[in-house]
Every structure is written in structure tokens, then in C-alpha cells.
Amino acid sequence: MRRTKIRNNDLQKIGYYEVPILKLAGKIANQLIGQKQASKEALLSLLKDLLDNPDNFTEPPFDKLAQKVKEHQPANDLRRQEEAQHDLKPEPIPFPIYGGENIEAGAIKQMSTAMQLPISVAGALMPDAHEGYGLPIGGVLATEADKVIPYAVGVDIACRMCLSVFELNADYLVKKRNQLKNLLLKNTCFGVGKGFESPMHDDLFDKSDWQATKVIRDLRKKAIRQIGSSGTGNHFVEWGAIEIVEDNAALGLPKGQYLALLSHSGSRGFGAGIAGHYTQIAMEKTKLPKFARHLAWLDLNTEEGQEYWIGMHLAGEYASANHHQIHRRMADSLEIKPIKIIENHHNFAWKDTLADGTEVIVHRKGATPAHQDEFGIIPGSMTAPGYLVQGLGKGEAIFSASHGAGRQLSRSKARKNLTEDEVEKVLKAHGVMLLGGDLDEAPMAYKNIDEVMQQQTDLVKVIGRFSPSIVRMADKEKWMVKKKKGRLDRNSGEVSFNET
């Protein structure tokens, strides 16, 4: 863990200008570093969140600092107003909301703010939407064709779904339950900063793009170490049964039930490093009012914009390689190859064309691409079904659909209001075996996936239904500093954000 001392210029870069809070922030942070409780990088991220959300920090050692930040907020707000270089549109561009009756007001407000950006062209809000940073989870935003917003892509760049279908009957789940459980434990690796002791080689690392920028070069070793692994939060690998509800020539699978493996994870520390670096640059280059600052953009005609674009696409390939390694490990251990692999990702930006012919960049933060006949996977919770779908190409929705059920309880509320006994009863009632996991991912923390699917029948067509049976997630974290949007892991010194 890196524990280099935090200096004043480090704090000034993240917004600490007034001397009283600058000194106190440095004192607290360096005490924690001296006590070997966290790394410099993790504390800077934590302190940035405190500056943005001081009301969330009511416990020592950050409570006094949070109070001082609140006392100085008027001066900070005035400073930011004076620095703002881009005015927002007086009113948001109208956008469709799917399943609006079950979407919190904060998510709709965030989407409205995004639609006031001077670079925004169109947008839509999916039925699984909830609040995030900048763009809400479930938000789809089309911007001018040379503008990309790192935080409208998200921290876990190219978070991805991958489904392997095996030519084995679904009753294999019952007959070989213990074997399948052991394969999950043997072939998966979860957790902040975690990776396999002996990672599998991947030809992806031979690509010249790994030498494209200093940021990518610096993150390459971490990417190699974490290849084939998964993060925390809502990331999972699970065995289940998939029912193909009708013959589909494009899919190439006859109607029937099959054994299947489903995984959800992203680009790990590599993607998070790209996101963090270029979000900071965007916020420095594109000054916006305080409430919209996380929607700062980069111009693709600039060096920084091109660097982010290269890094984002490489993170997409890396996320795909992660899943392929997971599925290959499983298939090799099972000694049978899948007859079909289907995958798609969210938390990404694509160059695309709207229904009216306008060329744009489409950001899907927690939303599934759903162009005409495009395959996608929309999971539920650990006890609820997931759906294999085909897009219907709805132009009004910017060719998108939900990426899951969506949260109805925040992580902190789930931990506060739910018990392990309650979760165990729900798991038992559904016949699901859970390996790892925590209360923040309890089935009750999520919306009803079937209601969500009903709210987007004009966006996608269901062609398959996946029922989870054996679910592997990250083990409970032994120690963390809880925050509204992230968590600081004592052992790794990394902050993990699970917005999706």
C-alpha cells in the first residue's frame, strides 16, 4: 500500500482552498497514513467526497472537517460560480422516462440537469434508474459527436454481462450442485484490489494501445494482475438454467432449457484509473456550475479527449477479456465447451446516429444497447430471473433498455434495514445457494425485475429467461469507511464504487 504524505497541492487539486479546512484535512489524512490505515490515493478520493457531501460524514475522524467544510461552503460556491465558463440551457431538452412511477425524484433531476448541458442533443431514462454521480444510473445521453463525458460513462468502464449456454439439461444443476459450487470457488476471484496469484495470459496485452499513454502504461501491471477477476458490489458469477422461449434463427438455439453461466463485472482497477484521471481533467478543463460539475466533458479534438477515448475502448476490450477468461476457466473445468456465448456492456460511450440522422456520441450509464435485433442480457437480483432480449430499435429511447432491475434501497439503507436471517429465508424460498455476498446486495434491495420488463416492452423482446441457482459474489468486507457512493477498503487502500 502506498502511504506517501498528502501535501497542500494534493488537496488544492481536489478543491481544498481555504486555509482552515486545508490544514485540518492534511492533518487528519496524514495521521491515518501514519497509522497505516489507508493509502494516499484512497484518502484523496474520500476527502473529495467529503467536500462534495459533508453531511454524510458525522463520525470521527472526519466530523470536525465536515463541519468546517459546511461553514465555508458559501465561499466555495461563490468561487465555483465565478469560475463557471459554460452556462446551462434555461430548460432541459424533453426526454422520455420509462417506468417513471418507480424512479426516485433525484434520478429524474440528475437527468434533467444533463439535458441542460449545451452539448446535449437527446436523452432517455430507463425503468431501472436511480441516482449516481453526474448522470443517473439508467441514464442515456446523446451529446455532440465530438464531446464525451467521463462520468456519463461511469467509474466501472464497460461493466459487462456475459452468458455461456451449455448443451446440458437444466437438471444438471440439481445432479451436480456441489461440483458446480466448487467450480465457482475454484475459478473466480472477487474483491477490491484482488487478482489471481497466477493470472492467465491474454493476447489482449500484446496490443500496441497499452503503450498509447502514460496513464495506460502505469495501469498495465495492475490490469495484468487482475485479469479474469471480478470486483465487489453487484458483480457476480452464477450458475443457472436458461429457458429459450421460442426458436430464434439469429440466436441459433432451439427452444428449450439449458445449463448456463452468467457473469457481471467490468474493467476492474484499470477502468477505474482511466475514469478517475480523465474525470479530473474534464472538470479542470470544462468549468460548470457546482451542481453539474460531474458532467464536465472532453473534446475529442483535443489530446486529452483522444487519450480518454483510447483508454475507454481499451477498458472495454479488457472487460470482455475478463469475462472470457472466467467462462473459459469454467468450461475447461466442466470439460465441455459452450454452444453459445452472448455478451454486451454498459457504462460506455458509442459513436452512433439518432433516428433523424444526427451523428452523436451516446453515453449509456447503466443501460443496455437495444438496436433492432441486437442481443442483450438484463439480470434481476440473486433470486430473481434475468432476461435474454433482442432490441426493438426504439429511436425515442436512443436504442437502449434497462441494464437490470435497479435499486430500490441504497446500499446504506439495505445494510441498516435488512438482516442476514431475512436474506437467508428469501434465498431458501427460491432454492438459491449464495457464496459470499452482503446485505447491500440482498434481493429486497432491488426493484421487481418483472415490473421493469413490463415497462420496456416497446424497447426489447424477451427470447430467454435465466433462473439463478448458485451465485458467487465478493465476500463481506471486514473493515470499511462507509460513504454514500463508495467504500474505502483498509487492506487494499482502494476505494470501490459500484454505481451499477
β-pairing, 460-472 vs 433-435, is parallel
Q: Which amino acid is residue 16, in one-letter code? A: Y
Bridge partners (DSSP) of residue 402 are 367
403 as an active site residue: the answer is: yes
Contact between residue 492 and residue 192 where contact means Cβ atoms under 8 Å apart: yes
Annotated catalytic residue within 130, 323, 324, 403: 403
Please tell me the distance from the alpha carbon of residue 70 to that of residue 415, in angstroms, as a whole number: 27
Please tell me the distance from the alpha carbon of residue 281 to that of residue 304, in angstroms, as a whole number: 8
From 222, 50, 208, 231, select the one nearest 155 (Cα to Cα): 231
Q: In Å, how far are 167, 274, 293 from 18, measured between CA atoms?
A: 64, 29, 20
The total of other beta-carbon atoms located within 10 Å of residue 182's CB is: 13
Contact between residue 384 and residue 455 where contact means Cβ atoms under 8 Å apart: no
For residue 54, the Cα-to-chain-centroid distance in whole angstroms is 24
* Residue 284 buriedness (CB in 10 A; 0-12 / 13-18 / 19+): exposed
Q: Which residues, other chains included, contact 188 with Cβ-Cβ below 8 Å and sequence gap of 6+?
A: 229, 230, 237, 326, 329, 472
C-alpha cell at 328: 473459459
* Residue 461 buriedness (CB in 10 A; 0-12 / 13-18 / 19+): middle
Contact between residue 202 and residue 253 where contact means Cβ atoms under 8 Å apart: no
Bridge partners (DSSP) of residue 161 are 264, 344
Grid cell 454486451 is found at 344
C-alpha cell at 287: 468549468
Please tell me the distance from the alpha carbon of residue 141 to that of residue 167, in angstroms, as a whole number: 39
Please tell me the distance from the alpha carbon of residue 108 to that of residue 448, in angstroms, as a whole number: 19
How does 472-494 read in b/e, with b if 16+ C-beta sit within 10 Å?
bbbeebeebbebebbbbbbebbb
Please tell me the distance from the alpha carbon of residue 161 to that of residue 264, in angstroms, as a whole number: 5
Please tell me the distance from the alpha carbon of residue 45 to that of residue 191, in angstroms, as a whole number: 18
C-alpha cell at 318: 479488457
From 235, 307, 240, 297, select the one nearest 267 (Cα to Cα): 235
The 8-class DSSP code of residue 475 comes to P
Contact between residue 433 and residue 227 where contact means Cβ atoms under 8 Å apart: no
Contact between residue 258 and residue 169 where contact means Cβ atoms under 8 Å apart: yes
Residues serving a catalytic function are 403
